[in-house]
C-alpha cells in the first residue's frame, strides 16, 4: 500500500507492514512500544527516566484512553507483531483565540529493526487523515531538542519550529 508521499510502507526485504487503528487486544503491545519511547529518551535528559513498573502503568493508562472518544491510536503491524504506533489528540484552544483548536501527536515510535522503511511516515499519514476528518487544520508535536532522529524525521515531514521549551534545574 503506498503512503501519501508515494513510498511503499515497509519497504525492504522484511515482511510488509499494515497500518490500522489500535484495538483493545493491542494494549500490551502498544504499552511495550510506549515504554521503549521512554527508554530511547532516557539518555537525552533525566526527566525521561522511567520507573520499573512503567509498562504496566502505561498499559492501564492506554486501556482507559482507548475508551475515550478524543484520542486516536494507530498501530503498524508486520507478521502479526506490532512494530510501531502513533497517538494523536485534539487540543481545544482558549476561547479568546480565532483558532478553535489544534491536534497534538503525543507519541510516535517505530522499533529499531523496522526504521527507515516508511513506517513512521505511514503512521503519521494515518494520524493526519484522522485530524483532517475532524476539521482541524494544525498539528503540533513536541520533540526533544537532543533527539536527532526525531528532529530529522519531523522536519522531513514538513513540521517546523514553533516555540522553544526552556528548562532550568534547581
Ligand X SMILES: CC(C)(COP(=O)(O)OP(=O)(O)OC[C@H]1O[C@@H](n2cnc3c(N)ncnc32)[C@H](O)[C@@H]1OP(=O)(O)O)[C@@H](O)C(=O)NCCC(=O)NCCS
Task: Give dist(CA 71, CA 90) in Å, integer.
Answer: 7
Q: How far is the CB of 24 from ligand X (least distance, A)?
A: 23
Q: How far is the CB of 165 from ligand X (least distance, A)?
A: 13
Site track 26-65 with ligand X (rule: CB under 6 A), x = hit: -----------x--x-------------------------
SS3 state at 5: coil
Instruction: Give the neighbor-by-neighbor strand order of the sheet with 72-78.
Output: 18-21, 72-78, 81-92, 101-110, 139-141
Among 30, 73, 118, 136, binds ligand X (CB under 6 A): 118
Distance CA 32, CA 90 (A): 24
Residue 143 found at the interface with ligand X (CB under 6 A): yes
State the Cα–Cα distance between residues 131 and 133, nearest whole angstrom: 5
119 binds ligand X (CB under 6 A): yes
- R_g over Cα of the chain: 16
Q: Which residue is nearest to ligand X (CB)?
A: 120
Residue ranges in contact with ligand X by CB under 6 A? 37, 40, 108-110, 115-121, 141, 143, 147, 149-150, 152-153, 156
Amino acid at each position: 500500500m503506498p503512503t501519501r508521499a508515494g513510498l511503499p510502507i515497509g519497504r525492504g526485504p522484511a515482511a510488509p507492514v499494515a497500518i490500522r487503528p489500535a484495538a483493545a487486544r493491542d494494549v500490551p503491545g502498544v504499552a511495550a512500544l510506549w515504554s521503549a519511547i521512554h527508554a530511547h529518551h532516557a539518555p537525552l535528559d533525566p526527566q525521561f527516566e522511567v520507573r520499573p513498573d512503567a509498562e504496566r502503568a502505561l498499559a492501564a493508562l492506554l486501556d482507559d484512553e482507548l475508551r475515550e472518544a478524543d484520542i486516536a491510536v494507530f498501530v503498524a503491524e508486520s507478521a502479526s507483531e506490532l512494530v510501531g504506533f502513533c497517538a494523536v489528540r485534539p487540543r481545544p484552544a482558549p476561547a479568546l483565540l480565532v483558532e478553535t483548536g489544534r491536534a497534538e501527536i503525543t507519541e510516535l515510535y517505530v522499533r529499531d529493526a523496522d526504521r527507515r522503511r516508511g513506517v513512521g511516515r505511514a503512521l503519521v499519514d494515518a494520524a493526519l487523515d484522522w485530524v483532517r476528518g475532524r476539521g482541524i487544520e494544525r498539528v503540533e508535536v513536541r520533540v526533544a531538542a537532543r533527539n536527532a532522529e526525531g528532529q530529522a524525521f519531523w522536519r522531513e515531514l514538513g513540521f517546523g519550529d514553533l516555540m522553544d521549551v526552556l528548562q532550568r534545574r534547581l
